[in-house]
Structure 1
Amino acid sequence: MNVVHVVLPGDIDDPATPSGGNAYDRRVCRGLAALGWTVREHPVPGGWPHPGAAERAALAGVLAALPDDALVLLDGLVACCVPEVLTAYARRRRLVVLVHLPLDGEAEAGALAAATRVVATSGWTRRWLLDRYPLPPDRVSVAAPGVAAAPLAAGTPAGTRLLCVAAVTPLKGQDVLAAALARVADLDWTCDCVGALSRDPAFVDRLRRQLADASLAERVRLSGPRVGAALDAAYGGADLLVLPSRRETYGMVVTEALARGLPVLGSDTCGLPETLGYAPDGSRPGLLVPPGDPEALADALRRWLTRPRLRARLRHAARRRRDTLTDWTVTADRVAATLEEATAA
């Protein structure tokens, strides 16, 4: 029986700090188990990707306790900042690093060089890694996130219910969204921002002041994190997903929205256009605007809110794109194939 040891961030199952990376890791662990793998999890608490000495030592202790030739799948949030730890065990362990969001630096270069194989979670990420680091292309594979089937969102005729699902941080761009919403305050809409409020409290405070100064505090709700049925309800009650990220290597919330037939207004950055994709007839199931540009985002919002034909076209495309999405079994199969390659290497 195949055995894989999976090194995970310590908050993997913390409902207060949900993330796409944690959701991906949990789905992959379950998927590997369903394929017959013995999955042994090793959560490592700490401030990853900025660990202290004790956290580095704890990770080294996990790897040291494993048998020689053990197959180890490491979340890149943990692995890519500690090349010295990975290098120390690279000859006696088969290390596979799962890269969700590249860290871009010498530490990451060293960590990936020590790995037997690398799994990227999007085609964009794989291309970025190969452009940035001297990695053999045959050692870097892609296992894009899947998505669970979901019922179609009902939607409202006027499309006024906006939804943003992301941890409230500068990277996710809620400040850009607030500036854009201030420019369309003359229109009818509400916006529900769902996501952790604890990752950057200073940014959250600035965002609250920004919303108050623009008299939007009653129309934009910072709802905090939601998981399970509560998150399903948020999608089900929305008309449009808005994801104004400054950088997004994949954007799992995009396919979660598309699985419900929701169009997406997102940033034209990194891997997000690839994730949005196209309906079978070649139409986009949403709109893309330059990242960090409140005026462009406001213009797209105004078009969505004032043009019924545009809303109808994007909704139709989103429902057609829904039929092309793959589920998590495909993701697990691709990760399993890479693990088998690492075992044979």
Structure 2
Amino acid sequence: MKILHVYKTYYPDDVTGVPRFIHTLAESTYKRGFHHEVLAPSAHPSKNAIKISNHKVFQVKQNFRISSTSISLSILSKFKSLSSDADVVHYHFPWPIADIMHLVSGISKPSVLTYHSDIVRQRRHMWLYNPLMNAFLDRMDAIVATSPAYRQTSCVLQKRLLQTQVIPIGLPERQDVPAGILSAMRAKVGEGFILFVGALRYYKGINYLLQAARATKLPLVIAGKNQDLRLDLRSLPENIVYLGEVTEMEKEALLTLCSGFVLPSHVRSEAFGIALVEAARAGKPMISCEIGTGTSFVNAHGETGIVVPPADSKALADAMRRLLSDRILRQKMGTSARRRFLQRFHAGVMAQNYTEVYHQVCERAAQRA
């Protein structure tokens, strides 16, 4: 079965977030007989299809961007060509250009949409976008939310509960960390610290985390791109270490060395929290904030970690103190986190669930024909 994914960016330009999810899904279902292709704009598109592991990427020229939306003047014709040969078209929301392509092209192929996030930062434009969005979503054969919490709290999905099912994002098993990388990272940051990994974007709650670390004086390691220079490197106290961007293996080394993981995101732009899944995969207890999204589904309060109110540095500080002061609690929560990963967030579980969705929409389409 051939699946065509459509999104605003993809490998090799972007290997995070939704592109990473698409890659994992494509590779984890390949041996189940699914062949995936991805259509995405690029500032520097390749003339030929790009082979990424066991799937193909087709790039079209990105002409400009408006409000984080990639615009390509040539994507519609390429979409028509690729979709004509696909068994299922898999969209990834939000990207309004996909809405337009689906409605204008008039394709009748079975369609699946993974609802990754509400539109948060550009919500002031929703009055203009709503008619297009509703027409698009109403035509989907299946909508997939990434957590029960998001399905229940999204104003958009609340109107489509019968149309929407939940399939959590999954990850493959972690790779073994080379001894040299682990030793080098241990020499740099030591062990037993609280870890944050991720780009320092506006919704990550970094300022609240810094306030908590300053108040507790507990060791905190931060790894990730200093997005928009949100972190003032000149004013960090001695207990806070900023590493900048790290490789995948360096990140796994940090997860091995840390005593706990923190994700202080305080607004709904953090729709799932894949970094929490990485921490659970490594068997680490977690601290996160209750923002009505998938973060509290990944990190089950009292079981795999501690969930605190958002934008509350004191609550973060108290959670950090509690974790680092109680070794038995850390071990118990870390073991539970690893178990929850295997049960709910392993790539194999995700692959099985999407396999069923793909077959279901094709069967329903055949019955309509």
TM-score range, shorter chain: 0.7 to 0.9
From 101, 115, 121, the counterpart of 2:140 = 115
Measure how far apart 1:123 and its partner are.
1.7
Unmatched 5+ residue regions in structure 1? none
- Normalising by the residue count of structure 1, what TM-score does the alignment of the two structures yield? 0.80
Residue 275 of structure 1 aligns with which residue? 298
1:134 and 2:159 matched: yes
Q: Secondary structure, in 3 states, of the residue corresponding to 1:335? A: helix
Measure how far apart 1:173 and its partner are.
1.4
Residue 163 of structure 1 aligns with which residue? 195
Structure with higher RCO (Cα < 8 A, 6+ apart): 1
Alpha carbons of structure 1 residues 144 and 311: separation in structure 2 relative to 1, 3 Å: same
> Identity of counterpart residues, as a percentage?
19
Residue 293 of structure 1 aligns with which residue? 312
* RMSD across aligned positions (CA): 3.0
1:86 and 2:102 matched: yes
Unmatched 5+ residue regions in structure 2? 43-61, 121-125, 365-369
Kept in 1, the 8 Å contact 2:212–2:317? The answer is yes
Kept in 1, the 8 Å contact 2:263–2:289? The answer is yes
Separation (CA, whole Å) in 1 of partners of 2:222 and 2:135 = 37
Separation (CA, whole Å) in 2 of partners of 1:58 and 1:122 = 34
Matched length:
317
From 318, 323, 329, the counterpart of 1:313 = 329
Measure how far apart 1:319 and its partner are.
1.0
Residue 146 of structure 1 aligns with which residue? 170
Alpha carbons of structure 1 residues 329 and 130: separation in structure 2 relative to 1, 3 Å: farther
Measure how far apart 1:90 and its partner are.
4.9
Measure how far apart 1:225 and its partner are.
4.5
Measure how far apart 1:333 and its partner are.
1.5
- Normalising by the residue count of structure 2, what TM-score does the alignment of the two structures yield? 0.75
Residue 69 of structure 2 aligns with which residue? 51
Instruction: Tell me the alpha carbon deviations over residues 219-271 of structure 1, each in whole angstroms, 9 at most, x when there is no partner.
Output: 330421532x2221121121110100113332122122122221111112222
Separation (CA, whole Å) in 1 of partners of 2:349 and 2:66 = 28
1:76 and 2:75 matched: no
Kept in 2, the 8 Å contact 1:119–1:140? The answer is yes
Residue 223 of structure 1 aligns with which residue? 244
Instruction: Tell me the alpha carbon deviations over residues 1-59 of structure 1, each in whole angstroms, 9 at most, x when there is no partner.
Output: x1111123424344xx542322211110112212101212223335587325x42x344
Q: Secondary structure, in 3 states, of the residue corresponding to 1:163? A: strand
Measure how far apart 1:146 and its partner are.
2.1
Kept in 1, the 8 Å contact 2:260–2:330? The answer is no
Separation (CA, whole Å) in 2 of partners of 1:206 and 1:143 = 33
| Aligned residue type for 1:167 | A
Separation (CA, whole Å) in 1 of partners of 2:136 and 2:67 = 13
Residue 174 of structure 1 aligns with which residue? 206
Alpha carbons of structure 1 residues 160 and 75: separation in structure 2 relative to 1, 3 Å: same
Alpha carbons of structure 1 residues 48 and 173: separation in structure 2 relative to 1, 3 Å: farther
| Aligned residue type for 2:103 | T
